[in-house]
Protein backbone atom coordinates (compact mmCIF):
# COMPACT_ATOMS: atom_id res chain seq x y z
CA UNK A 1 0.00 0.00 0.00
CA UNK A 2 1.34 3.44 -0.96
CA UNK A 3 1.44 5.94 1.90
CA UNK A 4 -0.59 9.09 1.22
CA UNK A 5 1.71 11.95 2.27
CA UNK A 6 -1.15 14.45 2.35
CA UNK A 7 -3.11 12.34 4.81
CA UNK A 8 0.07 11.68 6.76
CA UNK A 9 0.52 15.45 7.17
CA UNK A 10 -3.08 15.75 8.29
CA UNK A 11 -2.57 13.03 10.87
CA UNK A 12 0.71 14.56 12.08
CA UNK A 13 -1.02 17.90 12.67
CA UNK A 14 -3.78 16.26 14.73
CA UNK A 15 -1.20 14.22 16.66
CA UNK A 16 0.81 17.34 17.47
CA UNK A 17 -2.15 19.43 18.60
CA UNK A 18 -4.29 16.60 20.05
CA UNK A 19 -7.17 18.67 18.72
CA UNK A 20 -8.99 18.59 15.37
CA UNK A 21 -9.96 22.27 15.43
CA UNK A 22 -6.44 23.61 16.01
CA UNK A 23 -4.98 21.16 13.50
CA UNK A 24 -7.54 22.25 10.88
CA UNK A 25 -6.59 25.89 11.46
CA UNK A 26 -2.92 25.07 10.96
CA UNK A 27 -3.70 23.19 7.75
CA UNK A 28 -6.14 25.85 6.47
CA UNK A 29 -8.91 23.31 5.90
CA UNK A 30 -12.37 22.82 7.41
CA UNK A 31 -12.55 20.61 10.50
CA UNK A 32 -15.15 18.18 9.01
CA UNK A 33 -12.87 17.68 5.98
CA UNK A 34 -9.93 16.91 8.26
CA UNK A 35 -12.01 14.46 10.29
CA UNK A 36 -13.09 12.62 7.13
CA UNK A 37 -9.51 12.44 5.87
CA UNK A 38 -8.28 10.95 9.14
CA UNK A 39 -11.07 8.36 9.16
CA UNK A 40 -10.23 7.43 5.57
CA UNK A 41 -6.55 7.14 6.55
CA UNK A 42 -7.40 4.77 9.39
CA UNK A 43 -9.47 2.66 7.02
CA UNK A 44 -6.61 2.48 4.53
CA UNK A 45 -4.17 1.43 7.25
CA UNK A 46 -6.77 -0.91 8.77
CA UNK A 47 -6.03 0.25 12.31
CA UNK A 48 -7.23 2.90 14.73
CA UNK A 49 -4.84 5.82 15.17
CA UNK A 50 -6.81 8.09 17.48
CA UNK A 51 -9.06 7.78 20.51
CA UNK A 52 -11.68 10.50 20.19
CA UNK A 53 -13.76 11.90 23.06
CA UNK A 54 -15.87 15.04 23.27
CA UNK A 55 -13.00 16.90 24.95
CA UNK A 56 -9.76 15.35 23.78
CA UNK A 57 -7.91 13.34 21.17
CA UNK A 58 -5.37 10.73 22.25
CA UNK A 59 -3.11 8.47 20.23
CA UNK A 60 -3.49 4.70 20.17
CA UNK A 61 -0.27 2.62 20.31
CA UNK A 62 -0.41 2.46 16.51
CA UNK A 63 -0.98 6.20 16.39
CA UNK A 64 2.05 6.87 18.62
CA UNK A 65 4.21 4.73 16.36
CA UNK A 66 2.92 6.44 13.22
CA UNK A 67 3.48 9.85 14.81
CA UNK A 68 7.17 9.00 15.30
CA UNK A 69 7.41 7.67 11.74
CA UNK A 70 5.56 10.69 10.35
CA UNK A 71 7.99 13.18 11.87
CA UNK A 72 10.90 11.32 10.29
CA UNK A 73 9.23 10.80 6.90
CA UNK A 74 7.82 14.30 6.54
CA UNK A 75 11.05 15.87 7.72
CA UNK A 76 13.00 13.92 5.11
CA UNK A 77 10.52 14.82 2.37
CA UNK A 78 10.61 18.52 3.27
CA UNK A 79 14.42 18.44 3.29
CA UNK A 80 14.49 16.77 -0.14
CA UNK A 81 12.14 19.38 -1.60
CA UNK A 82 14.31 22.14 -0.13
CA UNK A 83 17.42 20.61 -1.72
CA UNK A 84 15.66 20.47 -5.09
CA UNK A 85 14.75 24.15 -4.85
CA UNK A 86 18.30 25.00 -3.75
CA UNK A 87 19.66 23.16 -6.79
CA UNK A 88 17.27 25.02 -9.09
CA UNK A 89 18.52 28.42 -7.94
CA UNK A 90 22.14 27.35 -7.56
CA UNK A 91 22.19 27.88 -3.80
CA UNK A 92 24.49 26.15 -1.32
CA UNK A 93 23.09 25.17 2.06
CA UNK A 94 24.52 23.58 5.18
CA UNK A 95 22.08 22.15 7.74
CA UNK A 96 23.26 21.39 11.28
CA UNK A 97 21.35 19.21 13.74
CA UNK A 98 21.82 19.71 17.47
CA UNK A 99 20.85 17.90 20.65
CA UNK A 100 18.73 19.70 23.29
CA UNK A 101 20.80 22.18 25.26
CA UNK A 102 23.82 22.15 22.93
CA UNK A 103 24.52 25.47 21.24
CA UNK A 104 26.01 25.45 17.78
CA UNK A 105 25.35 29.11 16.96
CA UNK A 106 28.94 30.27 17.58
CA UNK A 107 30.27 27.69 15.12
CA UNK A 108 27.68 28.69 12.52
CA UNK A 109 28.58 32.38 12.90
CA UNK A 110 32.27 31.59 12.45
CA UNK A 111 31.50 29.46 9.39
CA UNK A 112 29.26 32.16 7.88
CA UNK A 113 31.98 34.77 8.25
CA UNK A 114 34.22 32.59 6.05
CA UNK A 115 31.44 31.50 3.66
CA UNK A 116 28.89 34.34 3.53
CA UNK A 117 27.36 32.94 0.33
CA UNK A 118 26.37 29.63 1.97
CA UNK A 119 22.92 29.46 3.54
CA UNK A 120 22.82 27.74 6.93
CA UNK A 121 19.96 26.18 8.83
CA UNK A 122 19.44 24.12 11.99
CA UNK A 123 17.15 21.23 12.94
CA UNK A 124 16.60 19.72 16.39
CA UNK A 125 17.99 16.26 17.07
CA UNK A 126 15.44 14.62 19.33
CA UNK A 127 16.91 12.91 22.38
CA UNK A 128 15.33 9.52 21.66
CA UNK A 129 17.01 9.24 18.21
CA UNK A 130 19.55 12.05 17.81
CA UNK A 131 21.23 10.49 14.76
CA UNK A 132 18.00 10.50 12.71
CA UNK A 133 18.55 13.86 10.92
CA UNK A 134 21.87 12.55 9.56
CA UNK A 135 20.41 9.26 8.41
CA UNK A 136 17.33 10.65 6.68
CA UNK A 137 19.18 13.51 4.99
CA UNK A 138 17.72 16.47 6.89
CA UNK A 139 21.20 17.52 8.09
CA UNK A 140 24.76 17.09 6.84
CA UNK A 141 26.37 17.42 10.26
CA UNK A 142 25.18 17.14 13.85
CA UNK A 143 26.36 18.38 17.23
CA UNK A 144 25.29 15.55 19.52
CA UNK A 145 25.56 14.18 22.99
CA UNK A 146 26.54 10.55 23.53
CA UNK A 147 25.25 7.87 23.64
CA UNK A 148 23.60 7.29 20.27
CA UNK A 149 23.86 4.77 17.46
CA UNK A 150 27.15 5.73 15.81
CA UNK A 151 27.19 2.90 13.25
CA UNK A 152 27.88 4.33 9.80
CA UNK A 153 28.83 7.71 11.27
CA UNK A 154 32.15 9.49 11.71
CA UNK A 155 32.38 11.27 15.04
CA UNK A 156 34.74 13.96 16.27
CA UNK A 157 34.98 14.29 20.08
CA UNK A 158 34.32 17.84 21.24
CA UNK A 159 34.00 17.84 24.99
CA UNK A 160 32.50 16.52 28.16
CA UNK A 161 29.75 17.88 30.39
CA UNK A 162 28.50 16.75 33.79
CA UNK A 163 25.02 15.42 34.46
CA UNK A 164 22.77 16.83 37.13
CA UNK A 165 19.78 15.40 38.99
CA UNK A 166 16.57 17.14 38.01
CA UNK A 167 13.75 17.00 40.59
CA UNK A 168 10.77 19.02 41.86
CA UNK A 169 11.54 21.85 44.29
CA UNK A 170 9.35 20.03 46.82
CA UNK A 171 11.48 16.87 46.79
CA UNK A 172 13.24 16.04 50.11
CA UNK A 173 16.64 16.13 48.37
CA UNK A 174 16.02 19.48 46.72
CA UNK A 175 17.60 21.49 49.55
CA UNK A 176 20.93 19.68 49.23
CA UNK A 177 23.85 21.44 47.51
CA UNK A 178 25.13 18.32 45.77
CA UNK A 179 24.42 14.59 45.61
CA UNK A 180 26.05 11.26 44.94
CA UNK A 181 24.61 8.29 43.08
CA UNK A 182 24.06 6.60 46.45
CA UNK A 183 21.69 9.43 47.41
CA UNK A 184 19.51 8.46 44.44
CA UNK A 185 19.24 4.78 45.37
CA UNK A 186 15.58 3.87 45.72
CA UNK A 187 14.40 6.95 43.81
CA UNK A 188 12.18 6.44 40.79
CA UNK A 189 14.22 7.48 37.76
CA UNK A 190 12.71 8.71 34.50
CA UNK A 191 14.48 7.89 31.23
CA UNK A 192 13.74 6.52 27.78
CA UNK A 193 13.90 2.92 29.01
CA UNK A 194 11.38 3.39 31.80
CA UNK A 195 8.91 5.67 30.03
CA UNK A 196 8.77 6.64 26.33
CA UNK A 197 8.43 10.41 25.86
CA UNK A 198 7.99 12.56 22.77
CA UNK A 199 10.07 15.54 23.93
CA UNK A 200 12.38 16.81 26.65
CA UNK A 201 9.61 19.23 27.65
CA UNK A 202 7.41 16.22 28.40
CA UNK A 203 10.18 14.78 30.58
CA UNK A 204 10.42 17.99 32.61
CA UNK A 205 6.65 18.14 32.99
CA UNK A 206 6.61 14.57 34.35
CA UNK A 207 9.40 15.40 36.79
CA UNK A 208 7.61 18.53 37.99
CA UNK A 209 4.44 16.49 38.46
CA UNK A 210 6.27 14.16 40.85
CA UNK A 211 6.64 11.10 38.59
CA UNK A 212 10.35 10.75 39.31
CA UNK A 213 13.88 12.15 39.00
CA UNK A 214 16.06 12.29 35.90
CA UNK A 215 19.77 12.62 35.27
CA UNK A 216 20.23 15.18 32.50
CA UNK A 217 23.14 17.10 31.03
CA UNK A 218 23.97 20.43 32.60
CA UNK A 219 23.50 22.29 29.29
CA UNK A 220 19.97 20.92 28.90
CA UNK A 221 19.17 21.85 32.50
CA UNK A 222 20.31 25.43 31.92
CA UNK A 223 18.43 25.72 28.63
CA UNK A 224 15.15 24.47 30.10
CA UNK A 225 15.26 26.13 33.51
CA UNK A 226 11.89 26.47 35.28
CA UNK A 227 10.96 27.61 38.81
CA UNK A 228 9.31 24.36 39.89
CA UNK A 229 12.43 22.27 39.24
CA UNK A 230 15.93 22.17 40.73
CA UNK A 231 19.11 20.74 39.21
CA UNK A 232 21.70 19.37 41.61
CA UNK A 233 25.23 18.20 40.71
CA UNK A 234 25.87 14.49 41.20
CA UNK A 235 29.54 14.09 42.06
CA UNK A 236 30.06 10.53 40.84
CA UNK A 237 27.56 10.39 37.96
CA UNK A 238 29.09 9.58 34.56
CA UNK A 239 29.31 12.64 32.33
CA UNK A 240 28.04 13.09 28.79
CA UNK A 241 30.45 13.19 25.87
CA UNK A 242 29.69 15.67 23.08
CA UNK A 243 30.77 15.27 19.49
CA UNK A 244 30.29 16.33 15.89
CA UNK A 245 28.94 13.59 13.64
CA UNK A 246 28.64 13.13 9.89
CA UNK A 247 27.59 10.21 7.71
CA UNK A 248 30.70 8.09 7.05
CA UNK A 249 29.44 6.66 3.77
CA UNK A 250 29.00 10.03 2.06
CA UNK A 251 31.73 11.98 0.36
CA UNK A 252 32.55 15.01 2.46
CA UNK A 253 32.43 18.14 0.34
CA UNK A 254 34.83 20.99 0.96
CA UNK A 255 32.17 23.12 2.66
CA UNK A 256 31.43 20.33 5.13
CA UNK A 257 35.13 19.82 5.82
CA UNK A 258 35.49 23.55 6.44
CA UNK A 259 32.57 23.53 8.85
CA UNK A 260 33.98 20.56 10.76
CA UNK A 261 37.32 22.32 11.11
CA UNK A 262 35.73 25.59 12.24
CA UNK A 263 33.20 23.92 14.54
CA UNK A 264 35.81 21.69 16.17
CA UNK A 265 37.96 24.68 17.09
CA UNK A 266 34.98 26.85 18.09
CA UNK A 267 33.11 24.30 20.18
CA UNK A 268 36.16 22.91 21.94
CA UNK A 269 37.08 26.43 22.95
CA UNK A 270 33.59 27.32 24.18
Q: What is the pLDDT of residue 153?
A: 94
Q: Which residue has the higher pLDDT, 86 or 7?
A: 7
Confidence class for position 72, pLDDT limits 50, 70, 90: confident
Q: In this predicted structure, what is the pLDDT of residue 270?
A: 66
Of 16, 18, 19, 13, the C-alpha closest to 41 is 13
CA distance 70 to 114: 36
* pLDDT tops 80 at residue 145: yes
pLDDT in tens, 229-270: 999 999 998 888 999 999 887 666 888 999 999 999 999 976
What is the pLDDT of the chain when averaged over all its residues?
Answer: 87
Greater model confidence, 77 or 104:
104
Long-range (24+ apart) CB contacts under 8 A made by 55-63 are: 56/18, 56/19, 57/14, 57/18, 57/19, 57/20, 58/18, 59/15, 63/11, 63/15
Work out the pLDDT band at 225, boundaries 50, 70, 90: confident
Among the residue ranges 48-52, 53-57, 204-208, the one predicted with the least confidence is 53-57
Q: Which domains does the chain have, with CATH numbers?
A: 5-70 (1.10.10.10), 93-157+242-268 (3.40.190.10), 163-233 (3.40.190.10)
The yes-or-no verdict on residue 49 having pLDDT over 70 is yes
According to the model, what pLDDT value does residue 1 have? 58
Q: Give the model's pLDDT for residue 2.
A: 65
DSSP 8-state secondary structure symbol assigned to residue 134: H
Which of 240, 230, 255, 8 minimizes the C-alpha distance to 130? Answer: 240
Residue 75 has pLDDT above 70, yes or no: yes
Among the listed ranges 61-70, 143-152, 170-179, which one has the minimum average pLDDT value?
A: 61-70
- Decide if pLDDT at 195 tops 80: no
CB 44 within 8 A of CB 4: yes
Most confident of 20-29, 54-63, 227-236: 227-236
Q: pLDDT at residue 158 above 90?
A: yes
pLDDT grade for 89, boundaries at 50, 70 and 90: confident
Amino acid sequence: MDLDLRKLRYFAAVAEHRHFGRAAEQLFIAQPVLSRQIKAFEQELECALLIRTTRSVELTPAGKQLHEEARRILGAVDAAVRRVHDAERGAQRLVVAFSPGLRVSAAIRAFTSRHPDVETDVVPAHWWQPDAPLRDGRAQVAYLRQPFDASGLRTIPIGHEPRVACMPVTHPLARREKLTCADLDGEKMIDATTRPMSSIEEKFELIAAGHGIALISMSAARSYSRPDLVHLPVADAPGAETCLAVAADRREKQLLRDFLEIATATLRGA
